[in-house]
């Protein structure tokens, strides 16, 4: 096959990029190594920044999101056995976030792509990207039992942290920055009403906890656990008891979460990573292929969306005018936002989690920072502005 833009990876980043390009008349092909059923049930982030919501609407993928998604105007911080709400619209000039699971975003984008978009091939295992520094790069992939080649004008790597696209950037020009954290999350999906109407982030001596939701009847919950934790060590009763202990506050000492069947559990390691540059020749990296963040700041999916929004503008501009100015600026433009999001995610993670090796002094520093957010409009606004998402570059 031949196309203008070859997209490696059929997750939300690759699918959103394909849709934005299709709407502007730019041809693309999406190659996804998993089958459709797997992609549509792959559990990931569920918090959408305002810019991501706007982009999905502009792409024609906002109808079900607006009908079924849950707009949120804030979050609650719990620490020192007290609670404090962060009011997003009041602190940001009206911005808010939307709770709408990545699985649903992907379903919406897949349906659009298959209905009237360019080719979307599932079970297409990409083997490598060749000729990234030439005028006609290509993607080698296995599909329907044989090796095939997709020749493109540009290749976009949206295949995640463990994908092959990043290897197309030679080690001689690539720098990888990584930080691993000394704890993981136990992710819990439960058939139980959410604890609150908005997300609750809890700092406690027992470790971090987060109460989120997927729908009015399904909760998404997280507990800080040691690295290497076995989910078998966490039966349902232990999970609920530990959640109650970590969310406890003096204003509601008998408060308990609504309990229900635990549908699934998984251990999620915590890592920060950035690859520079995000472009080599005609190969561009986007989303987790270029950077990952710990999920505490709800930035992963939103960073990926911001990357492809910037990239779609650049590709469309080049198609219409021949100018490569925006393409040449892509890596630097995105990395400024990436490092800001990396810092915010690091801040949220290290402020709310209890490091197994930290001292009582370290804990008091965390509580002092949280108290500053609760007592200062300026500190709260800094958190709210970063959480709801900084403006995209024009």
DSSP, collapsed to helix, strand or coil, labels residue 141 as strand
φ, ψ dihedrals at 62, nearest 5°: -105, -5
Sign of CA dihedral 176, 180, 186, 188: negative
Marked catalytic residue, from 22, 72, 203, 318 = 72
Instruction: For residue 72, indicate whether it is catalytic.
Output: yes
Helix ranges (H only) for the chain are 12-23, 36-40, 50-58, 63-68, 88-92, 102-116, 236-247, 300-321, 325-352, 360-375, 377-388
Please, which residues bridge with residue 211 across strands?
Answer: 200, 221
Instruction: For residue 295, indicate whether it is catalytic.
Output: yes
Quickly tell me which residue has 């998993």 as its tokens: 34
Q: Rounded distance, CA 113 to CA 122, Å? A: 12
Marked catalytic residue, from 107, 299, 318, 353 = 299
- How many CB atoms neighbour CB 217 within 10 A? 13
Instruction: For residue 107, indicate whether it is catalytic.
Output: no
Taking the CA of residue 109 as centre, how many other CA atoms within 13 Å lie in the half-sphere pointing to its CB?
A: 30
User: 103 near 65, Cβ under 8 Å?
Assistant: no
DSSP, collapsed to helix, strand or coil, labels residue 225 as strand
Tokens of 390: 């900084």
Integer-rounded Cα radius of gyration of the chain: 21
Marked catalytic residue, from 100, 181, 183, 387 = 387
Q: Rounded distance, CA 72 to CA 235, Å? A: 31
DSSP, collapsed to helix, strand or coil, labels residue 181 as strand
Angle, alpha carbons 210-54-152 (nearest 5°): 105
Marked catalytic residue, from 201, 203, 222, 353 = 201
Instruction: For residue 387, indicate whether it is catalytic.
Output: yes
Marked catalytic residue, from 22, 295, 318, 353 = 295
The set of catalytic residues is: 72, 201, 295, 299, 387
């Amino acid at each position: 096959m031949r196309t203008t833009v070859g997209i490696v990876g059929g997750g939300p980043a690759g699918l959103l990029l394909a849709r934005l390009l299709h709407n502007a008349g730019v041809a693309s092909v999406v190659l996804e190594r998993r089958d459709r059923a797997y992609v549509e049930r792959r559990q990931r982030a569920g918090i959408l920044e305002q810019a991501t919501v706007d982009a999905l609407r502009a792409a024609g993928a906002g109808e079900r999101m607006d009908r079924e998604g849950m707009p949120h105007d804030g979050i609650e911080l719990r620490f020192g056995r007290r609670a404090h709400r962060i009011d997003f619209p009041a602190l940001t000039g009206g911005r808010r976030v939307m709770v709408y699971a990545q699985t649903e975003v992907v379903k919406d984008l897949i349906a659009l792509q298959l209905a009237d978009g360019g080719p979307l091939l599932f079970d297409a295992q990409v083997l490598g990207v060749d000729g990234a520094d030439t005028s006609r790069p290509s993607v080698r992939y296995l599909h329907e039992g044989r090796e095939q080649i997709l020749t493109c004008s540009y290749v976009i790597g949206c295949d995640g942290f463990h994908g092959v696209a990043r290897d197309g950037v030679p080690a001689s020009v690539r720098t990888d920055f990584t930080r691993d954290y000394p704890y993981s999350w136990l992710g819990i999906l439960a058939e139980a009403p959410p604890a609150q109407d908005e997300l609750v982030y809890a700092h406690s001596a027992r470790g971090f906890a987060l109460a989120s939701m997927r729908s009015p009847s399904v909760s998404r919950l997280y507990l800080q656990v040691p690295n290497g934790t076995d989910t078998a060590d966490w039966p349902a009763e232990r999970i609920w008891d530990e959640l109650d202990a970590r969310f406890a506050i003096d204003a509601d000492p008998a408060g308990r979460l609504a309990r229900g069947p635990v549908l699934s559990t998984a251990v999620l390691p915590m890592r920060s990573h950035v690859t520079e540059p995000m472009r080599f020749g005609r190969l561009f990296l986007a989303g987790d292929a270029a950077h990952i963040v710990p999920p505490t700041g709800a930035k992963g999916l939103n960073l990926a969306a911001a990357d492809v929004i910037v990239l779609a503008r650049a590709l469309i501009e080049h198609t219409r005018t021949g100018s490569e100015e925006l393409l040449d600026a892509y890596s630097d433009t995105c990395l400024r936002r990436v490092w800001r999001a990396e810092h915010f995610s690091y801040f949220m993670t290290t402020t709310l989690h209890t490091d197994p090796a930290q001292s009582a002094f370290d804990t008091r520093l965390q509580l002092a920072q949280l108290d500053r957010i609760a007592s200062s409009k300026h500190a709260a606004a800094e958190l709210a502005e970063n959480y709801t998402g900084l403006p995209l570059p024009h």
